[in-house]
Amino acid sequence: MNSPSLVTLKQELNLMPPAELVKVCLKLAKYKKENKELLAYLLFDSNYEPAFVARVKAETGASFGEINRSNLYFAKKGIRKILKTLNRYARYSGLKRTEVELRIHFCVTLYKSGIPILPGTALGNIFDGQLLKIRKLIAGLHEDLQHDYQEEIREILR
């Protein structure tokens, strides 16, 4: 089955009455957790981004507290799971500033967690990859924000 283009879908959605459109949205949200989370973001969190960022940061901090530190392998799996969730939330927002804030918070929390992040190891590569993504995102922001976030990165690396 071939899926239609976005233009075709948009035209079809524009032709639907509002009650049917609600049914379609609810049906989408029913079958996949990510669709439900995205719909919740669009309805409740997109209007006030700072509250969304604060909630995601709190969730990330709580997830770091639940990481199994008995073995580095389990810690790495937990960190990858947190990063996967963080990427999903950043994709919901679509704002570079939000993504930078979330990634910086991830790096700070990872650094302060006490889990050994040695260069060249899997965790070191995850950390370095996030710093690289942060730097690329910062390059597309306003100069004042660039300076502020550069200062935060310098604090991480100290």
The pLDDT tens digits for 105-143 are 999 999 888 888 888 789 999 999 999 999 999 998 888
Kindly report the number of other CB atoms within 10 A of residue 92's CB atom: 20
Residue in 94, 105, 82 with CA at minimum distance from that of residue 46: 94
Residue 1 has pLDDT above 80, yes or no: no
For 13, phi then psi, to 5°, come to: -65, -35
CA R_g for the chain: 19
Q: What is the DSSP letter of 94?
A: -
Buried-exposed string 135-154: b where 16+ CB fall within 10 A, e elsewhere: eebbeeeeeeebeebeebbe
- What is the C-alpha separation between 27 and 145, in angstroms, rounded? 40
Residue 158 has pLDDT above 80, yes or no: no
Residue 78 has pLDDT above 80, yes or no: yes
What is the reported pLDDT for 105? 95
Residue in the block written with tokens 């260069």: 119
What is the reported pLDDT for 129? 94
Residue extents of the structural domains in the chain: 46-157
Residue 83 has pLDDT above 90, yes or no: yes
Residue in 104, 97, 106 with CA at minimum distance from that of residue 137: 97
Q: Say how far residue 108 (Cα) sits from the centre of its chain.
A: 15
- What is the C-alpha separation between 4 and 40, in angstroms, rounded? 25
